Amino acid sequence: MTGVRCMLMRGGTSKGAYFLAADLPSDPAERDGLLLRAMGSPDPRQIDGIGGAHPLTSKAAIVAPSADAAADVDYLFLQLGVEEPTVSDRQNCGNLLAGVGPFAVERGLVPAGGDRTVVRIRMLNTGSVATAAFPTPGGAVDYDGGTAVSGVPGTAARIDLDFAGTEGSTCGALLPTGRVRDVIDGVEVTCVDNGMPVVVAAASDLGATGYETDLSHLRDRVQSLRLRAGGLMGLGDVSAASVPKTTLVAPPRDGGMICTRTFIPLRMHTSIGVLGAVSVATALLIDGAVGHDLAEFPPPGAPMSVEHPTGRLDVVVELDGTAVRRSSIVRTARKLFDGTVFPRSWP
Ligand code: NQM
């Protein structure tokens, strides 16, 4: 039985297996097969692998030194199906991104840079660059700290993530349909991509309050919306893709800017993705976008707090008209296990 070096990390509100690209087969089909066997997919319980039986815990990050002068490391995100033997690189993950800088230091790809280390990460899924800054006192990553992330028990060290070039990074434009609003299946939507393709709709337009904890009855309507939106957004047939996501918005009720329920793409997210939240917040800032009139905006410069089923996620987005000046977010991550994973031997 051949094992592969692997580190398990929590990144934000997700959990995944982190690998050095050099430790995996270079052939993508061979690599994907190995990852599915390591995760235990396809199986709803992923009982024969290290996956956590949920899309948020069935993820892989593949990290390598970057050949790009604008970055220190390259990060490829792969979403592994739980019940299906699928591996998709069609979306990015801002949660696993939080662990990439620490992982790069742990594996010696980037030297620790004093009390805090800054790592520039080229996100291969979308071609954009993120900068991660995190504590490395005494030359080692310090995961402990006082920063809380909704959806994660306890506190951990703060990781600052700044994004550049995320606008339209999957679809080619911030408003991929060329319009602020579209009508799909009789529902007004705003399609947006500031790092994650998302279809934003008012919960009330789908007969929901937007505060529910179970919206599984909307599955078919969400699927129809996103299939049509995928075409309009230039993504083609998205029936087997995890993008676009769909976010239902409602007025905030917990002191935030907006309340959200997000489908990834059909199961409801227990919170909301990082770039998903950045994209939704960006849409809300645009005059005429769905949700703009439901939002209660904070004073300029203050973070925008996106309410979700398990708390709130604060994002900073600065727009110049419809051009993005800046997007950033605070996350935490933690090394959970470092060792060797043994993928099952049968396909
Ligand atoms: O939007 C889940 C997550 C994500 C993706 C998803 C993410 C992001 O919560 O950047 O982090 O949308 O499938 O990890």
The answer as to whether 164 is a domain residue is: no
- CA-nearest of 229, 331, 239 to 283 is 229
Q: How far is CA 36 from CA 76, 154, 243, in A?
A: 16, 31, 20
User: Do 191 and 150 share a structural domain?
Assistant: no
Span 189-237, pLDDT tens digits: 999 999 999 999 999 999 999 999 999 999 999 999 999 999 999 999 9
On the CB side of 159, CA atoms within 13 Å amount to 32
Span 82-102, pLDDT tens digits: 999 999 999 999 999 999 999
pLDDT at residue number 1: 66
User: Do 151 and 125 share a structural domain?
Assistant: yes
β-strand pairing of 14-20 with 4-11 = antiparallel
The answer as to whether 204 is a domain residue is: yes
Confidence (pTM): 0.94
Span 259-297, pLDDT tens digits: 999 999 999 999 999 999 999 999 999 999 999 999 999
| Pocket test residue of 14, 163, 270 for ligand 1, highest count of atoms within 8 A of CB | 14
Is pLDDT above 90 for 49?
A: yes
Span 330-345, pLDDT tens digits: 999 999 999 999 999 9
Cβ of 93 below 6 Å from ligand 1:
yes
The answer as to whether 170 is a domain residue is: no
- CA-nearest of 291, 71, 269 to 201 is 291
The answer as to whether 121 is a domain residue is: yes
**What sign has the CA pseudo-torsion 56, 257, 152, 117?**
positive
| Pocket test residue of 97, 161, 196, 306 for ligand 1, highest count of atoms within 8 A of CB | 196
> Which contiguous run of DSSP H or E holds residue 280?
helix 274-285
Contact 278, 94 (CB under 8 A): yes
Q: What amino acid occupies position 230?
A: G
User: Do 336 and 324 share a structural domain?
Assistant: no
* CATH number of the domain encompassing residue 304: 3.10.310.10
User: Do 189 and 308 share a structural domain?
Assistant: yes
Is pLDDT above 70 for 141?
A: yes
How many whole angstroms from its chain centre is CA 293? 26
The answer as to whether 236 is a domain residue is: yes
User: Do 268 and 199 share a structural domain?
Assistant: yes
User: Do 320 and 336 share a structural domain?
Assistant: no
Query: From ligand 1's centre to the CA of 94, what distance in Å?
Result: 6
The answer as to whether 163 is a domain residue is: no
Span 101-134, pLDDT tens digits: 999 999 999 999 999 999 999 999 999 999 999 9
User: Do 194 and 98 share a structural domain?
Assistant: no
Given 3-state DSSP classes, what are the helix, strand and coil percentages for the chain, each rounded to the nearest 5? 20, 35, 45
Is pLDDT above 90 for 300?
A: no
* Residue 181 burial (10 A CB sphere; 0-12, 13-18, 19+): middle
Is pLDDT above 90 for 322?
A: no
DSSP per-residue string spanning 110-133: S---SSEEEEEEEETTTTEEEEEE
How many whole angstroms from its chain centre is CA 76? 12
Cβ of 275 below 6 Å from ligand 1:
yes
The answer as to whether 169 is a domain residue is: no
Query: What residue numbers bound the domain in which 92 lies?
Result: 4-158+332-341
User: Do 69 and 24 share a structural domain?
Assistant: yes
User: Do 195 and 94 share a structural domain?
Assistant: no
Query: From ligand 1's centre to the CA of 308, what distance in Å?
Result: 13
- CA-nearest of 5, 1, 3 to 337 is 5
Kindly state the average pLDDT of the residues 127-143.
97
User: Do 336 and 323 share a structural domain?
Assistant: no
- Tell me how far apart the 2 most distant CA atoms of the chain are, in Å: 58
Contact 41, 49 (CB under 8 A): yes
Decide: helix, strand or coil at residue 80: strand
Residue having the nearest C-alpha atom to atom 4 of ligand 1: 273
User: Do 143 and 102 share a structural domain?
Assistant: yes
Query: From ligand 1's centre to the CA of 10, what distance in Å?
Result: 13
The answer as to whether 172 is a domain residue is: no
Query: From ligand 1's centre to the CA of 275, what distance in Å?
Result: 7
Q: Residue 153 gets which letter from DSSP?
A: S
User: Do 86 and 212 share a structural domain?
Assistant: no
Contacts of 67 (CB under 8 A, 6+ apart): 74
pLDDT at residue number 109: 98
**What Rg value do the Cα atoms of the chain yield, rounded?**
19
Query: From ligand 1's centre to the CA of 138, what distance in Å?
Result: 32
Token couple for 210: 């937007």
User: Structural domain tally of the chain?
Assistant: 2
- CA-nearest of 238, 315, 237 to 271 is 315
